[in-house]
Amino acid sequence: MQQDHSPGQIRCHVEGEIGWLVIDNPDRRNALSLAMWQAVPEAVARLTADPAVRVIVLRGAGEETFVAGADISEFETLRGNARDARTYEAVNVAAFDALRATPKPTIAMIRGHCLGGGLGLAAAADLRVAAQGSSFGIPAARLGLAYPPTALADIVALTGPARARDLVFTARRVSAEEAHRIGLLDRLVPADALETAVRELAGTVAANAPLTIAATKAALAALTNGDLAAAEAAAERCFDSRDFAEGRSAFLAKRTPDFIGS
């Protein structure tokens, strides 16, 4: 599965059990245009629907930047007033929602700048692994715009409200070390080890029971959206699955289980 390789695109490809979602706009430090924001939910849906994919990894194209945020050059024409800004924000939120809602585990692989909407994408993922030397920030207060409430809720869930206020009120850049310390990151690794670390983490997650992971995501989502029925249904699928029987059998036989996601 592959999309056009031209700049300013959202690209997808599958390697084994990893589905790669690539933000590709290196001339603008992988900033997302409106069209790119609109393409994110479709890309997530394609990777989610692919039975070969066990883990989705989000990354920026190249070796310098994750995502520098939204393409500010579009703001004057696309976010020039409250009505247009609401429309634009709805597209942003749909991208964050798609990452948050997929039942498959998601990992943000972060190198370089992770700013604004880029940090929103990373925070909507399940796990975040960053290279030393990366930088983080929410520059909304320097632009006079409001950060989407659901995206802010993701930041609060990671850092707590006090640190989220600090990040937004000051609009300051945060080092990778501080980002790790305050909870924005799950893992911080040397720059030359980033892709290896992400592939190893993805492989570990992919080897585990997909239905358990999906049920866990549904249960955690229910803490905020109140959808207990969805969480309970996901749990029922686990207990009725072939994988549950396989897990029990493998445990008793002291062998590695072979999960198939059903």
User: What is the DSSP-derived secondary structure letter of residue 62?
Assistant: T
* pLDDT for res 164: 97
CB atoms under 10 Å from CB of 46, counted, come to: 16
pLDDT (tens digit per residue) in 231-246: 788 888 888 888 788 7
Structure tokens at 124: 């909507």
Is-contact 105 126, C-beta < 8 A? yes
Average pLDDT over residues 2-11: 64
pLDDT (tens digit per residue) in 171-228: 999 999 999 999 999 999 999 999 999 999 999 999 999 999 999 999 998 888 877 8
Average pLDDT over residues 76-105: 84
Residue 132 located in a structural domain: yes
Q: Residue 76 pLDDT more than 80? A: no
Q: Residue 66 pLDDT more than 90? A: yes
Q: Is residue 38 located within the same domain as residue 142?
A: yes
Q: Residue 159 pLDDT more than 60? A: yes
Q: Is residue 139 located within the same domain as residue 40?
A: yes
Q: Is residue 81 located within the same domain as residue 193?
A: yes
CA–CA dist 251, 134 (Å, integer) = 40
Report the candidate in 65, 130, 125, 132 with the shortest Cα–Cα distance to residue 99. 125
Give the residue carrying structure tokens 């549950």: 244
Q: How confident is the model at residue 6 (pLDDT cuts 50, 70, 90)?
A: very low
The CATH number that applies at residue 112 is 3.90.226.10
Sheet holding 135-137, edge to edge: 113-115, 135-137, 174-175
Total count of domains within the chain: 2
* pLDDT for res 222: 87
* pLDDT for res 47: 98
CA–CA dist 8, 168 (Å, integer) = 27
pLDDT (tens digit per residue) in 132-145: 999 999 999 998 88
3-state secondary structure of 14: strand
Q: Residue 3 pLDDT more than 60? A: no
Q: Is residue 30 located within the same domain as residue 156?
A: yes
Q: How confident is the model at residue 154 (pLDDT cuts 50, 70, 90)?
A: very high
Q: How confident is the model at residue 7 (pLDDT cuts 50, 70, 90)?
A: low
Q: Residue 80 pLDDT more than 80? A: no
Domain span at residue 215? Answer: 210-253
Q: Is residue 147 located within the same domain as residue 102?
A: yes
Q: Is residue 58 located within the same domain as residue 173?
A: yes
Q: Is residue 116 located within the same domain as residue 241?
A: no
Q: How confident is the model at residue 250 (pLDDT cuts 50, 70, 90)?
A: confident
Q: Is residue 221 located within the same domain as residue 191?
A: no
pLDDT (tens digit per residue) in 8-57: 899 999 999 999 999 999 989 999 999 999 999 999 999 999 999 999 99
Q: What is the mean pLDDT of the chain?
A: 91
Residue 260 located in a structural domain: no
* pLDDT for res 97: 96
